[in-house]
Structure 1
């Protein structure tokens, strides 16, 4: 009789850990409210930083999650990292926010591609992307994909191109080191 081999299966749990609080009872219903809430903090960063603001059904912020810190002129963004805290926070929707340390708030080609990809994933998982906002260092203005009507279907390039561009950025970064 062959000896049965038992397999050990670990039980794991994932928890959202709260850090410092940002207080706001103002709903994030427009780009200006988002910039007032978090954009000014990001605009001061010396490298590109991407954060997600998770909001409830009334568009009140639940929390803010820094999903990626990059270099002076680029950052790699993964949908997996963007939605991790959103799902754990039971977010009704999200706002994507990042900075351009150069001060130029015009979206890059990669910004356009990433927005399309994140919007598609957001629609798929049922946590809508309300807006993607870019703030710039020493620049009182901001760029809102929603305000510029770029959140509508067909306005930004396909998600496949986003994956290609993201791979190029990762390869370029690995060659620098």
Structure 2
């Protein structure tokens, strides 16, 4: 008689948490920044989030990808794109906070953004922007034309309705 081996079958699911409310539609980087400033205002350490979007850029959900220290948060494409894939997102907006009060991105922030944009291109999930929030200020990679080869918004805007 042959011995049988048990192999567990698992499933991965998104678990809904209490909703995040916004008093306005997200039409531009400032609107997205205000949403995340409110969401992350009481955090004493860096938090990295993604906003998952449908094909016509309607918001699906927000996912907190990582929690770091006072001045850094480690993120990996695997974790960033997990909820995007499970949410069937066609694009994402990256966002994280700087508890220091200065939204200027670090060299590491720029490198991580480039890496995530490259990973998104491979998976067909476009990274539309990366917004760094701090107190009442924000920094939008898109508005500042950082890594323009990855944020080709003019071509996309001509093809579909964008949130901004």
TM-score class, shorter: 0.7 to 0.9
**What's the RMSD between the two structures over aligned residues?**
2.0
Tell me how far 1:25 sits from its aligned partner: 8.8
SS in 2 for 1:7: coil
Identify the match of residue 12 of structure 1 among 1, 10, 13. Answer: 10
Alignment of 1:7-86 (within 5 A): 7-24=5-22, 27-86=25-84
**Structure 1 residues 17-26 or 62-71, which shifts more?**
17-26
Distance 2:40 2:62 in 1: 12
The match for 2:147 is 151
How many positions carry a matched residue from both structures? 151
Structure 2: tracts of 5 or more residues without a match: 152-164
Q: 1:26: how far off?
A: 5.4
Q: Distance in 1 between matches of 2:53 and 2:4?
A: 45
Alignment of 1:85-164 (within 5 A): 85-137=83-135, 140-153=136-149
Maintained 8 Å contact 1:53/1:61 = yes
Greater CA drift, 78-87 or 42-51: 42-51
- 2: CA distance between counterparts of 1:8 and 1:152? 50
TM-score normalised by L of structure 2: 0.83
- Return the alpha-carbon distance in structure 1 between the equivalents of residues 81 and 111 of structure 2: 17
Partner SS state of residue 133, structure 1 = strand
Q: Secondary structure in 1 aligned to 2:112?
A: helix
The answer as to whether partners of 1:27 and 1:61 remain within 8 angstroms in 2 is no
Greater Rg, structure 1 or structure 2? Answer: 1
Moved more, 44-53 or 145-154: 145-154
> Which structure carries more relative contact order (alpha carbon 8 Å, separation 6+)?
2
TM superposition shift of 1:92:
1.5
- 3-state SS in 1 of match to 2:104: coil
- What is the TM-score when the length of structure 1 is the normalising length? 0.78
Alpha-carbon distance between aligned partners in 2 of 1:144 and 1:15, rounded to the nearest angstrom: 31
**Structure 1 residue 29 displacement after superposition:** 3.7
Q: Distance in 1 between matches of 2:56 and 2:117?
A: 20
